[in-house]
Amino acid sequence: MALSNDEVLAGLAEIVSEETDIDTAEVTADKSFTDDLDIDSLSMMTIVTLAEEKFDVRIPDEKVKDLVTVGDAVDYITAAQA
Amino acid sequence: MNVVVTGLGTTSPLGGDVASTWEGALAGRSGVRTLDNDWAELYGVPVTFAGQLAVRPEEVLSRPETKRMDPSAQMALVAAREAWADAGLPEVEPERLGSVVSSGIGGVWTLLTAWDTVKERGASRVLPLTVPMLMPNSPTAYISLEFKARAGAHAPVSACASGAEAIGMGFEMIQSGRADVVICGGTEAAIHPLPISAFAAMQALSKRNDDPAGASRPYDVSRDGFVLGEGAGVVILESEEYALARGARIHARLLGLGMTGDAHHIAAPEPNGAGQTRAMELALERAGLSTADVVHVNAHATSTPVGDMIEARGIRALLGAHADQVLLSATKSMTGHLLGGAGALESVFTIKALETRTAPPTINVTEPDPELEVDLVRDTPRALPEGQIAAINNSFGFGGHNVALVFGTA
């Protein structure tokens, strides 16, 4: 069964928090991965790899650059699950 | 240019820092114990014990640090932070600060775990940080990042001599004028079924599974191989001028370095120990000392039937009758063999021995090899003489790498 937007956000926030020590509550849809959360490209690729496994979706490398905010990633993952 | 030691750090099988490790060594405690896993059952790994860290890095590092770094780099960072704080957090210009921290094997846990991932879950599941985690220069690179060491970050690799060679390279960075301060040392995190199986295949490891704490017994007649250990040691080296100018506390001096190659065999030492003895000779010569100045040797002595006595005969040959007055310690009896971390941890022991004028004990020697003609410190520590004294720390590695470091009192 596909997860809701909120469930994906919660799951993604856990991954981001594990990787960066940022509190899960700080990982909100409006935050930019680079500007707000200070996540570098290698960490971003790590988060993507872990998210693919957790949500059983495929996020193509060329798509990653479009995932500017946490919300972008949540939307992409939610749609990809469907 | 004179080189001094102003900071010490370690995380070892005896303790999570220098104070607890040194206390454990003076107490003659063994840091070797049975592994809490089922590798023997699962894979038939023939050795079921090792010198495991007393304090796991994840107990002191942040979660992201433990996820981004191989255990070998984590241990090095723990030791480097302690050493840096111990040195009084020098405010050195980044361009004058170096980092030389080695590992004998590198990120073996990362490499093999990533291969498991490829096999079990496919190539797309391999994490992007795998390469920076597995490369053997990862520990020195992370340390250079943390402390902004821009004079150069290096990681000379010479198997079990790597840690000592790193300290030697730090010494040369200062002597050649490349740096005022260098963070140097070695680290190893190789308690994994593959390295254990591979060392066991060489018949290099003790198989005393029923007596882990008694397995590492350098110079004892019943020694049957080394005990794998893990951990890191770091020392902060500085030019004396720089250290004095900033009012740093000086633990000891690094007086001499001798490095030679056997060019004899890929794993076995030269039977007559000529290369090892020559390394000690060169180190004393560079230090401007005579053999009579040496009061203590922290031996490489890994508890192998052949290796221990080659080194001991070499020490006797070099020091002659003076060897009767030299206190010999084999601290691997307590820590196991840290491979690339060994020369660094044992440098920490040698420096503490000079500073406190106390030679740490060698444990588990119930019947010394009858051929041993050096005064071995057994079971309890012994006092070193007053006045200006010097000590040698030997490290030798598979491949015929011989490194001798000569330290002196401050």
Section B11-26 average pLDDT: 98
Residue B50: per-residue pLDDT: 98
- List chain A residues with CB under 8 Å of B129: 42-43, 46
In a domain, B298, yes or no: yes
Assigned token pair, B97: 């600060």
B204-243 tens-digit pLDDT = 999 999 999 999 999 999 999 999 999 999 999 999 999 9
Same domain for B68 and B161, yes or no, is yes
Question: What does the alpha-carbon distance between residue B363 and residue B391 come to, in Å, rounded to a whole number?
Answer: 20
Same domain for B52 and B159, yes or no, is yes
Contact A18 B67 (CB under 8 A): yes
B331-373 tens-digit pLDDT = 999 999 999 999 999 999 999 999 999 999 999 999 999 999 9
Q: How confident is the model at residue A1 (pLDDT cuts 50, 70, 90)?
A: low
Of A19, A45, A52, the CB nearest to B67: A19
Q: Which residue has the higher pLDDT, B52 or A42?
A: B52
Q: What is the CATH number of the domain that holds B269?
A: 3.40.47.10
Q: Which fold is adopted by the domain A5-81?
A: 1.10.1200
Question: Domain locations in chain A?
Answer: 5-81
Q: How confident is the model at residue A81 (pLDDT cuts 50, 70, 90)?
A: confident
Q: Are B317 and B326 in contact (CB under 8 A)?
A: no
Rg over CA atoms, chain A: 11
Q: Which residue of B has its CA nearest to A22?
A: B64
Same domain for B138 and B269, yes or no, is no
Q: Which range has the worst mean pLDDT, A41-50, B237-246, B287-296?
A: A41-50
State the average pLDDT for chain B: 97
Report CA B93 to chain centroid distance, whole Å: 28
In a domain, B250, yes or no: no
In a domain, B146, yes or no: yes
- List chain B residues with CB under 8 Å of A19: 64, 67
**Would you say residue B102 has pLDDT above 90?**
yes
Section B135-146 average pLDDT: 98
The fraction of chain B above a pLDDT of 90, given in percent, is 99
Which residue, of B211, B245, B279, is where some domain finishes?
B245
Q: What is the DSSP string of A3-61?
A: PPHHHHHHHHHHHHHHHH---GGG--TT-BTTTTT---HHHHHHHHHHHHHHHT----H
Which one of B154, B160, B296, B401 is the catalytic residue?
Answer: B160
Q: Are B159 and B106 in contact (CB under 8 A)?
A: no
Q: Which domain holds residue B302?
A: 255-409
Same domain for B214 and B361, yes or no, is no
> To the nearest whole angstrom, how far is the Cα of B75 from the nearest Cα of chain A?
19
Section B313-331 average pLDDT: 96
Same domain for B96 and B231, yes or no, is yes
Question: What does the alpha-carbon distance between residue B319 and residue B313 come to, in Å, rounded to a whole number?
Answer: 10
Contact B64 A45 (CB under 8 A): no
Contact of B62 with chain A, judged by CB distance below 8 Å, is answered with: yes
Mutate to test the interface with A, among B61, B110, B129 (most CBs of A within 10 A): B129
Contact B125 A49 (CB under 8 A): yes
Contact A20 B64 (CB under 8 A): yes
With a threshold of 0.90, does the pTM exceed it?
A: yes
The fraction of chain A above a pLDDT of 90, given in percent, is 87
B250-287 tens-digit pLDDT = 999 999 999 999 999 999 999 999 999 999 999 999 99
DSSP 8-state secondary structure symbol assigned to residue B257: E
Please report which residue ranges of B202-325 form alpha helices under DSSP H.
Answer: 240-245, 274-287, 307-319
- List chain A residues with CB under 8 Å of B67: 18-19
Which residue, of B198, B224, B245, is where some domain finishes?
B245
Contact of B126 with chain A, judged by CB distance below 8 Å, is answered with: yes
Same domain for B403 and B269, yes or no, is yes
Catalytic residue flag (residue B337): yes
Contact B125 A20 (CB under 8 A): no
Assigned token pair, B218: 């350098």
Question: What does the alpha-carbon distance between residue B340 and residue B136 come to, in Å, rounded to a whole number?
Answer: 11
- List chain A residues with CB under 8 Å of B124: 49, 52
Same domain for B386 and B238, yes or no, is no
Same domain for B219 and B267, yes or no, is no
Section A25-48 average pLDDT: 94
State the average pLDDT for chain A: 93
Same domain for B206 and B259, yes or no, is no
Residue B83: per-residue pLDDT: 98
Number of domains in chain B: 2
Torsions phi, psi for A6 (to 5 deg): -65, -35
Q: Are B251 and B195 in contact (CB under 8 A)?
A: no
Contact of A49 with chain B, judged by CB distance below 8 Å, is answered with: yes
Torsions phi, psi for B242 (to 5 deg): -65, -45
ipTM confidence: 0.82
**Cβ neighbours of residue B124 closer than 8 Å, sequence gap 6 or more:** A49, A52
Residue B351: per-residue pLDDT: 98
Question: What does the alpha-carbon distance between residue B29 and residue B9 come to, in Å, rounded to a whole number?
Answer: 19
Same domain for B183 and B212, yes or no, is yes
- List chain B residues with CB under 8 Å of A42: 128-129, 132
Same domain for B320 and B195, yes or no, is no
Which residue, of B221, B245, B269, is where some domain finishes?
B245
Q: Are B142 and B69 in contact (CB under 8 A)?
A: yes
The fraction of chain B above a pLDDT of 70, given in percent, is 100
Contact B124 A46 (CB under 8 A): no
Question: What does the alpha-carbon distance between residue B145 and residue B158 come to, in Å, rounded to a whole number?
Answer: 24
Residue B213: per-residue pLDDT: 98
Same domain for B288 and B235, yes or no, is no
